[in-house]
Chain A
Amino acid sequence: AQRVTQPEKLLSVFKGAPVELKCNYSYSGSPELFWYVQYSRQRLQLLLRHISRESIKGFTADLNKGETSFHLKKPFAQEEDSAMYYCALKAETSYDKVIFGPGTSLSVIP
């Protein structure tokens, strides 16, 4: 069965410091991986997709199949990055079902 883990429930960093939000998954096939962000009391928004290899708001994430990881990184954290971040996985065979990790709450300290 597919599973997504995010080991850190809470992560606090100072403004300007690098940030890395960890995500590991378990799935035997070729998954599609995403990062979603939820700002305070707002809807979830798609932040990144691994297949697009894009950088959004300074964030990047690289899929490491050997380590089954998809960590989210940003070199210099900003206060507006404070939010809840969810890593999510879509299995190649499931009918569009996306499994979310438990989320990491990022707090950027000014």
Chain B
Amino acid sequence: DTAVSQTPKYLVTQMGNDKSIKCEQNLGHDTMYWYKQDSKKFLKIMFSYNNKELIINETVPNRFSPKSPDKAHLNLHINSLELGDSAVYFCASSTPSRASYGYTFGSGTRLTVV
């Protein structure tokens, strides 16, 4: 009964391909996020959805498109993958009314573009 689950855990793909990462949370949280952790372990927010509505959209290439079919799911689709997209992508969730309790993170998706 994992709280925030991401699939796949590992993804190796060639440059130019299109791929998706899925995230699901069963915590009843309202808000979900995508973070990118680069090779230097730096964490940067990419997107945030609240109840299926996009609320944070940081400076991310248009090749990245999040989709939230419902508040329990937030997927990330990446078009025309580039070498620089190689990173670990973390999904997280929280609820604004209890934001002080912090985020719950998924276990990450390690994307390797070759």
State in angstroms the CA–CA spacing of A36 and B4 once bound together.
16
Kindly supply a per-residue 1/0 record for chain A positions 29-40, scoring 1 wherever the CB is within 8 Å of any chain B CB and 0 otherwise. Answer: 000101010100
Residues 57-114 of B contacting A (Cβ, < 8 Å): 90, 92, 94, 96, 99-108
Count, chain A residues at interface, CB 8 A: 24
Given A46-B103, A49-B102, residue A96 in contact with residue B90 (CB < 8 A): no
**A90 / chain B contacts, CB cutoff of 8 Å:** 99-100
Q: What total of A-B pairs shows CB separation below 8 Å?
A: 60
Residues 1-51 of B contacting A (Cβ, < 8 Å): 4, 31, 35, 40-45, 48, 50
Given A42-B107, A44-B90, A97-B56, residue A103 in contact with residue B102 (CB < 8 A): no
Q: Which residues of A contact B (CB under 8 A)?
A: 32, 34, 36, 38, 42-46, 49, 51, 84, 86, 88, 90, 95-100, 102-103, 105
Q: Which residues of B contact A (CB under 8 A)?
A: 4, 31, 35, 40-45, 48, 50, 55-56, 90, 92, 94, 96, 99-108
